[in-house]
Amino acid sequence: MDILITGLLLGGTYALIAMGLNLQYGMARIMNLANGEMLVAGGFVAFWLWTGSQISPLLTVFVVAPVAFLLNWLIYLIFLRPLVKRAKSRGQLEVDSILTTFGLSFVAVGLMLAFFGGDYFSYSYLSEPVHILGDTYGANRVAAFLAAVVVCGLLWLWLNRSRAGMTIRAISVAPEAARLVGIDVRRTAALAFALGGAVTATGGALISTFLTLDASTGVIFTLKALVIVIMGGVGDVRGTIVAALLLGLLETFVARLIDPGLTLAAAYLLFVVILLFRPQGLFGRPTT
């Protein structure tokens, strides 16, 4: 029971991060491997504001999200749009964007190392016990989970109910046809990319309340987010949430029952199983 709830709480925060990546890969069609660095940067800002001026990480989100949105918008315009323009095929774009975002992620790690040093950073925020069904949990985990649920819910409503959300879903399903009905595909893709970055950075600010981060942990989160997105199905919001919760549960099980050093190995095994048996994702239909 204890493991179940801890796993679900962790999975909720993972869902937020993976949602960010899904917006970028599923909708904007850019495999962003610098996604984890955006998360760590969000965590850094939360850490900095909390230790510097005691601003609650839950409020920091309102600063982190717009800044990350703008930053990702600029990254898309400067680095990725030229690639989208010159790419002759989807495969070509994939190779180019993988190399570019790897480059960006290394540059980000290098810059963060230069400014903040290579130390681990963590702070204690809301580390009081909360009682759920007879067991105790850290209040920061519960708060992060609730915040993640709120953000995911809003995002889901926005994607499904608003016109802007519909255009984003349209370019994800059929970029060519979307142009025919008067959607500015380039602008919408940039929007989806920027939004994805903002969601990931928000996830970073939330996750930093209970996990210890350092400048080079980004790639681990990128890997986890990728596993979740592929397991849930590229471009599928519901699948992403289910997959994130599953991964959270699996990691907690492995960490508690076998060894905490094996969590990434467990995520990776899950990924292998998905690739072998359901490469189209949990809820995806097989493509011919």
Partner 1 sequence: MSALSSRDWGNLALCAIALAIAACLPWTAGAYGLSIGVTIAMYTVLATSWALFSGPTHYISLASAAFFGVGTYVTGIGIQYLPYWTLLPIAGVSGAVMAALVGLATLRLSGVYFVIFTLGLAEFVRQIITWSQNISGTKGIYVLTSIGEMHIYWQLLGLAALVWLLGWLIGRSRLGFALRIIGDDEAVARHSGIDTARAKILLFMVPGAVAAITGAMLAPRYVYIEPSLAFSPMLSFQVVIMALLGGTGRLWGPLVGVIPFTFLWEAISVSFPNQTTLLLGVCFLVIVYLLPKGFVGLIDLAARRMRSAEGYV
Give the residues lining the site for partner 1 (CB under 8 A).
Answer: 31, 79, 82-83, 91, 94-96, 98-100, 102-111, 113-114, 118, 216, 219-220, 223, 226-227, 230, 259, 261-262, 264-265, 268-269, 271-272, 275-276, 279
Nearer to partner 1 by Cβ, of 83 and 139: the residue is 83
Could you give the residue ranges of the DSSP H alpha helices within the chain? 2-22, 35-53, 57-75, 81-86, 90-116, 139-161, 163-173, 175-180, 185-207, 218-232, 237-257, 263-277
Quote the least distance from Cβ 61 to partner 1, whole Å: 28
Nearest distance from C-beta of residue 27 to partner 1, angstroms: 15
Least distance to partner 1 from the beta carbon of 175, Å?
A: 17
Nearer residue to partner 1 within complex by CB, 186 or 278: 278
- Classify each residue of 97-106 as buried b or exposed e, where b means 16 or more C-beta atoms within 10 Å of its C-beta: beebbeebbe
CB of 37 to partner 1, least distance (A): 10
- CB nearer to partner 1: give 5 or 19: 19
Nearest of 132, 135, 156 to residue 143 by alpha carbon: 132
Tokens representing residue 196 in the block? 């994805």
Question: What is the rounded CA–CA span in Å between residue 239 and residue 277?
Answer: 16
Question: CA 106: distance to chain centroid?
Answer: 18
Least separation in angstroms between residue 198's CB and partner 1 is 22
Residue 126: both structure tokens together = 């809301």
**Beta carbon nearer to partner 1, 1 or 257:** 257
Residue 9 beta carbon to partner 1: minimum distance, rounded to whole angstroms: 23
In the bound state with partner 1, the residue whose beta carbon lies nearer, of 88 and 163, is 88
DSSP assignment letter at 282: S
Pick the closer one to partner 1 by CB: 103 or 153. Answer: 103
User: Quick one: CA dihedral 60, 198, 243, 103, positive or negative?
Assistant: negative
